[in-house]
């Protein structure tokens, strides 16, 4: 049995090592176009920034180890240029000696990954414009930054784009981010990305959202970047981080089926439309764990698992990939933002019915020093409360909570289950009612009808005197109210509400708010018990400001 | 409807606030024997140590707030001395004015908690000997420590005992811990507690395990503590942290059913054997989420939920407590230790069949600075891999991983599910194959028969020449082997194994080890593929040393 693997980073290296563990007899040939296999692509921005000081650290598994320990025939600088499916042969170009040769295979695993998008913009190929995929790319970028440029522009405010921004700032380069969508971190919903935008501004990063790069032109000592708004930015370095697309050229040329976004179609065992050819990693189309629909989710974790599954199936095991749920996290300076499952945007696009809820709990007991709030957004089925997605943003404990929510989502748990989750509590680590329990309570209260809510985007300011609109009550303290409030709201502090309830017209719907939502919940219940038609403003004043894009 | 609640800390205060949220009309009377309600008992050790500088921080919800916001009739320093179930009346002693009075109730909720055990030791009531339950207790301890004692003895190395130890050390007091069992943190399995014992020693704490206090006697300027070993310790302060027992005297006197350990028996709605009396918190017997059997698990999280459920049921809701799984975490200096579900000790005692596995993965990508290993122990059903319990110990990321495992256990997940869990990965937060995935792989490899394992406690040293014992192979590097190895093992480095396989007698069983278990896994597969009867030593040399209590 000869297994040929094309691509040696996450999925390819995993498949190779797994194949060897399953068989000592198999011949395993790993072909990698670049100079390195199994390198830490997620670490590259931190090598640029200096947090990872030693480049060697990025070489997680070296070819010698794959060769010595796993008896894998590793051939770097070796590009597969064609697949002859009838003959079961790949044609390989040895990039060092520039010669072509052929390798017959019994089973072929494609793990060619995804390539950075390069939009067809004038000047995109100028010196000083970079994309980031492998170590030679980061070497080039690092060399450019080592020359001490004053200004950089990062195009694309996704996870990798912002990691590059953080590290450019760390290197002392004044950085502007240009993003096509009207928010940073487009994988998150816009209101969840607002704290990240604030954080970037706080660190001196200039944001240009809802804009594209129209052209890049050479300018005195650098580049001039022309934005769609007409604005022109000067920079010595431009880094493109506008996304990736499956590198499926080879698969397409071989006549393998691909999806509408170019991802190679596979079955649950990673097998392509040719039963002797498997594909794994960023080049494949995966099924979304939530909707079951095909999508592209380029992530290292699923890539590793897919490589493993492909090897398993070659050796007769029935391992199945259960779909990807897109769990991801990014640190942006002092904040972290994370997501699992579907976002509100994606649910809308997919036409999946959903409800949502927000909480702003501390990461650990408020009485212990260092407590800081995070925001948790849950997306769930209105029918039964099944979790559809979640997003978390905050300073600390974000990884912990997104992981809990990722497992809950994988397990098919509901928001009612989250009320009951028994998490670890000591003052340094959590609360007797953990942030996750709080998120569950609020969502479940909505579904049970205990506390109806109004979303901030649906709240249209009305004056207290307008008998057609809802009567708006802010139950924070007078000091909090004076420091900033939503137009149209009347201040009746929670602890005065029972005494002053007659100030609220009985015939009108009432919308209540507070800072984070909890006092609004108490107030809503008091009003409901008094027979009023009351609802709580989801996420309170904090969320209102984010939805309406006010500084927070 | 008048609801009377006895006890105003976790369960009692939760029940009171929840009852008000469910009804504006109910009369709610909260009776608390002590001076404070809803205080942060879990924060008290850190107030002693100074990390929580402000005592006021420990008063999470003050009586005025419960009264003002929730219209709860809060009566502190009010002890319920008897329940007349026939008349539905409680007799209350006003401890301030030392007078007795009666309160009729419609529904009664008992939330009297648990009281620290005071073993009947001569001298247990001497000045300088303290237990810790409420704020007056910590005030007394703090006053004693403020006087600058040189030595302290903490009796009991459980969670609270060790929190007190850490904070005594922080205050500069030389501290000895005396523990009846032969390990610290008896809720954990002994091998998992070894790093905690090391950590305590590293911070100058003296450990006396497998010993009890026989007597405490006055001595010059302090106390002399007589241990069962005959050793005598001098100290100015002795703190007892030997456990708690349900404070169910009142319930017992009223003829309510209690379990064998004194916990009040309740149904799934927290109702006692009297349908008008509920009980919630540390005084009740709970059902273990894993075995379904009755047990006592005094924890703040479940107490809060039980209070909520009792109030729910009074108002006609069918909320049910799903049992407790005993999720808990403690920080001990630079380490954290955590548990969920059952320990190996408890499984043995309960006669539940189990298998176990160990891994020592880093909390985040090894290539990112600050990576440190943790140990994860999984306990699971040998039949189907269903998770029965888990323990984690390490420097960082322990809270994250125990929470993931707690949710997985709640959801009834298997170790096969853990292989597939899609957790958040960025270099600062995790790995493409997260610590949890690694734990799942190892456990699943055992169950699938891919990699048989031998537990270190079952490994009896045999010489390589002894044809009756297994042939023992250590596949680490010669340098690692030379630095310390298990007696009887022969060193054949992993990368030489194929070439030197003939050095291993074909007729004998082979047990392989390495440092943490991963190279041993690879070696086991190579040997199995060569037709050998091989097994991997679970947890490698690291675990071996812990099981055999060697310094690590």
Residue A442 has pLDDT above 90, yes or no: yes
Question: Which residues pair with residue B474 across a beta bridge?
Answer: B491, B513
DSSP letter string, B324-351? B---EEEEETTEEEEEEE--HHHHHHHT
- Distance between CA atoms of residues B528 and A99, nearest Å: 40
- Looking up tokens 């095991």 gives A317
- Looking up tokens 């059952």 gives B342
The correct CATH number of A129-242 out of 1.20.1250.20, 3.40.1190.10, 3.50.50.60, 3.40.50.150 is 3.50.50.60
Q: List pLDDT tens digits, range B186-240.
A: 999 999 999 999 999 999 999 999 999 999 999 988 999 999 999 999 999 999 9
Q: Do B423 and A403 touch (CB under 8 A)?
A: yes
Domain boundaries, chain B: 2-115+245-314, 129-240, 334-447, 453-547
Residue B36 has pLDDT above 80, yes or no: yes
Say whether B398 sits in a helix, a strand or coil: helix
For A18, nearest residue in chain B (alpha carbons):
B522
Are the C-beta atoms of A240 and A137 separated by less than 8 Å? no
Question: Residue A552 has which token pair?
Answer: 């927070």
- Distance between CA atoms of residues B352 and B342, nearest Å: 10
Phi, psi angle pair for B396, to nearest 5°? -135, 155
CA of residue A352 relative to chain centroid, distance: 20
Q: List pLDDT tens digits, range B268-292.
A: 999 999 999 999 999 999 999 999 9
Average pLDDT, chain A: 96
Residue B466: its pLDDT value, please? Answer: 72
Lowest mean pLDDT across A341-345, A545-549, B50-54: A545-549
**pLDDT mean over A124-152:** 97
- Distance between CA atoms of residues A354 and B225, nearest Å: 64
Q: Do B406 and A422 touch (CB under 8 A)?
A: yes
Residue A551 has pLDDT above 60, yes or no: no
The correct CATH number of A453-547 out of 3.40.250.10, 3.40.50.720, 1.10.3720.10, 3.30.1370.60 is 3.40.250.10
- Distance between CA atoms of residues A180 and A212, nearest Å: 5
Q: Do B425 and A301 touch (CB under 8 A)?
A: yes
DSSP letter string, B511-548? EEE-SSSHHHHHHHHHHHHTT--EEEETTHHHHHHHHT
Residue B182: its pLDDT value, please? Answer: 95
The CATH fold assigned to B334-447 is: FAD/NAD(P)-binding domain (3.50.50)
Question: Which ipTM value was assigned to this complex?
Answer: 0.96
**Residue whose C-alpha is closest to residue B85's, from B284, B294, B304, B253:** B253
Banded pLDDT at B467 (limits 50, 70, 90) = confident
Which residue of A25, A367, A404 is in closest CB contact with B52? Answer: A367
Q: Do A410 and B420 touch (CB under 8 A)?
A: yes
Segments in A421-466 forming alpha helices (H): 435-447
Banded pLDDT at B348 (limits 50, 70, 90) = very high
For residue B310, what is the enclosing H or E element? Answer: helix B300-314
Q: Do B529 and A430 touch (CB under 8 A)?
A: no
Q: How many CB atoms lie within 10 A of CB A524?
A: 28
First-to-last alpha carbon distance for chain A, in angstroms, is 61
**Residue whose C-alpha is closest to residue B520's, from B484, B476, B490, B489:** B476
Average pLDDT, chain B: 96
Which residues of B fall within a CB distance of 8 Å from A159?
426
- Distance between CA atoms of residues A358 and A378, nearest Å: 7
Known catalytic residue at B42 = yes
DSSP letter string, B258-288? B-TTSPBP--TTSB-SSTTEEE-STTB-EEB
CATH 3.50.50.60 fits A2-113+245-314, yes or no: yes
Residue A464: its pLDDT value, please? Answer: 61
Asked if domains B129-240 and B334-447 share a fold, the reply is: yes
Residue B79 has pLDDT above 90, yes or no: yes
Phi, psi angle pair for B307, to nearest 5°? -60, -45
For A430, nearest residue in chain B (alpha carbons):
B399
Question: Residue B509 has which token pair?
Answer: 């069983």
Percent of chain B at pLDDT above 70?
Answer: 99
Residue A203 has pLDDT above 90, yes or no: yes
Are the C-beta atoms of B411 and A408 separated by less than 8 Å? yes
For residue B460, what is the enclosing H or E element? Answer: none
Angle subtended by helix axes B190-202 and B540-547, to nearest 10: 80
Residue A463: its pLDDT value, please? Answer: 62
- Distance between CA atoms of residues A549 and A457, nearest Å: 11
Q: CA A328, A332, A334, A335: dihedral to nearest 10 degrees?
A: -40
Which residue of B24, B426, B526 is in closest CB contact with A331? Answer: B426
Residue B552: its pLDDT value, please? Answer: 47
Segments in A211-352 forming alpha helices (H): 249-253, 300-314, 344-350
- Count each helix (H run) and each strand (E run) in chain B, helices first: 15, 30
Q: How many CB atoms lie within 10 A of CB A455?
A: 18
Question: Residue A523 has which token pair?
Answer: 């107030």
Residue B460: its pLDDT value, please? Answer: 74
Angle subtended by helix axes A398-410 and B398-410, to nearest 10: 20
Q: List pLDDT tens digits, range B371-411.
A: 999 999 999 999 999 999 999 999 999 999 999 999 999 99
Mutate: best of A386, A403, A447, partner B, most B CBs <10 A: A403
**Residue whose C-alpha is closest to residue B495's, from A242, A69, A337:** A69
Residue A72 has pLDDT above 90, yes or no: yes
DSSP letter string, B23-76? -SS-EEEEE-SSS-SSB-GGGHHHHHHTSS--GGGGBSS-HHHHHHHH--EEES
Which residue of B60, B367, B410 is in closest CB contact with A43? Answer: B367
Which residues of A fall within a CB distance of 8 Å from B68?
495
Are the C-beta atoms of A46 and A165 separated by less than 8 Å? no
Q: Distance, in angstroms, between B268 CA and closest chain A CA?
A: 14
The CATH fold assigned to B129-240 is: FAD/NAD(P)-binding domain (3.50.50)
> How many beta-carbon contacts under 8 Å exist across A and B?
223
**Pairing of the two strands B151-155 and B237-240:** parallel
Question: Residue B511 has which token pair?
Answer: 């047990």
CATH of segment(s) B2-115+245-314 = 3.50.50.60
**pLDDT mean over A269-287:** 97
CA of residue A252 relative to chain centroid, distance: 28
Tell me which long-range contacts A453-457 makes (C-beta under 8 A, separation of at least 24). A453/A357, A453/A535, A453/A536, A453/A537, A453/A538, A454/A511, A454/A535, A454/A536, A454/A537, A454/A538, A455/A356, A455/A538, A455/A547, A456/A191, A456/A537, A456/A538, A456/A539, A456/A543, A456/A544, A456/A547, A456/A548, A457/A547
Which residue of A322, A404, A426 is in closest CB contact with B42? Answer: A426
Are the C-beta atoms of A367 and B41 separated by less than 8 Å? no
Q: List pLDDT tens digits, range A455-494.
A: 999 987 666 667 778 999 999 999 999 999 999 999 999 9
Q: CA A144, A147, A153, A158: dihedral to nearest 10 degrees?
A: 50
Question: Which residues pair with residue B284 across a beta bridge?
Answer: B264
């Amino acid at each position: 049995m000869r297994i040929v693997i094309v691509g040696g980073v996450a999925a390819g290296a995993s498949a190779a090592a797994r194949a060897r563990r399953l068989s000592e007899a198999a011949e395993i040939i790993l072909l990698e176009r670049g100079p390195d296999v199994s390198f830490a692509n997620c670490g590259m921005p931190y090598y640029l920034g200096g947090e990872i000081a030693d480049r060697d650290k990025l070489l997680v598994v070296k070819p010698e180890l794959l060769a010595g320990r796993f008896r894998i025939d590793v051939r770097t600088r070796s590009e597969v240029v064609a697949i002859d499916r009838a003959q079961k042969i790949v044609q390989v170009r040895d990039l060092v000696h520039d010669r072509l040769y052929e390798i017959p295979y019994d089973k072929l695993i494609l793990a060619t990954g995804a390539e950075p998008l390069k939009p067809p913009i004038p000047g995109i190929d100028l010196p000083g414009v970079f994309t980031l995929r492998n170590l030679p790319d980061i070497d080039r970028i690092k060399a450019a930054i080592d020359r001490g440029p004053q200004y950089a522009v990062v195009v694309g405010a996704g996870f990798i784009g912002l990691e590059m921004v953080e590290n450019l700032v760390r290197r002392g380069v004044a950085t502007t981010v240009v993003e096509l969508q009207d928010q940073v971190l487009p994988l998150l919903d816009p209101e969840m990305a607002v704290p990240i935008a604030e954080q970037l501004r706080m660190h001196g990063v200039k944001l240009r959202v809802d804009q594209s790069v129209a052209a890049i032109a050479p300018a005195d000592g650098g580049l001039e970047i022309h934005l769609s708004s007409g604005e022109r930015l000067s920079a010595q370095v431009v880094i493109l981080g506008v996304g990736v697309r499956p590198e499926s050229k080879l698969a397409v040329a071989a006549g393998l089926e691909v999806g509408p976004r170019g991802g190679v179609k596979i079955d649950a065992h990673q097998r392509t439309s040719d039963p002797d050819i498997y594909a794994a990693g960023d080049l494949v189309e995966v099924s979304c764990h939530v909707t079951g629909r095909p999508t592209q989710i380029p992530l290292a974790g699923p890539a590793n698992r897919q490589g493993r599954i492909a090897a398993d199936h070659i050796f007769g095991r029935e391992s199945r990939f259960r779909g990807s749920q897109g769990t991801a996290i990014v640190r942006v300076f002092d904040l972290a933002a994370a997501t699992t499952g579907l976002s509100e945007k994606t649910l809308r696009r997919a036409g999946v019915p959903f409800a949502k809820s927000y909480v702003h709990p501390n990461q650990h007991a408020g009485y212990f020093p260092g407590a800081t709030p995070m925001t948790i957004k849950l997306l769930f089925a209105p029918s039964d409360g099944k979790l559809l997605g979640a997003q978390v943003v905050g300073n600390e404990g974000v990884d912990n909570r997104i992981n809990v929510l990722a497992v809950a989502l994988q397990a098919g748990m509901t928001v009612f289950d989250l009320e009951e989750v028994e998490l670890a509590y000591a003052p340094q680590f959590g609360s007797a009612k953990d942030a996750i329990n709080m998120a569950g309570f609020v969502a479940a209260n909505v579904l049970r009808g205990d506390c109806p809510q109004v979303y901030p985007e649906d709240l249209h300011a009305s004056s207290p005197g307008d008998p057609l609109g809802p009567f708006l009550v802010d139950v924070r303290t007078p000091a909090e109210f004076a420091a900033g409030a939503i137009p149209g709201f009347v201040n009746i502090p929670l602890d005065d509400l029972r005494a002053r309830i007659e100030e609220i017209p009985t015939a009108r719907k009432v919308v209540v708010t507070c800072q984070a939502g909890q006092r609004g919940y108490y107030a809503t219940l008091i009003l409901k018990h008094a027979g009023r038609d009351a609802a709580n403003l989801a996420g309170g004043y904090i969320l209102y400001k984010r939805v309406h894009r006010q500084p927070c």
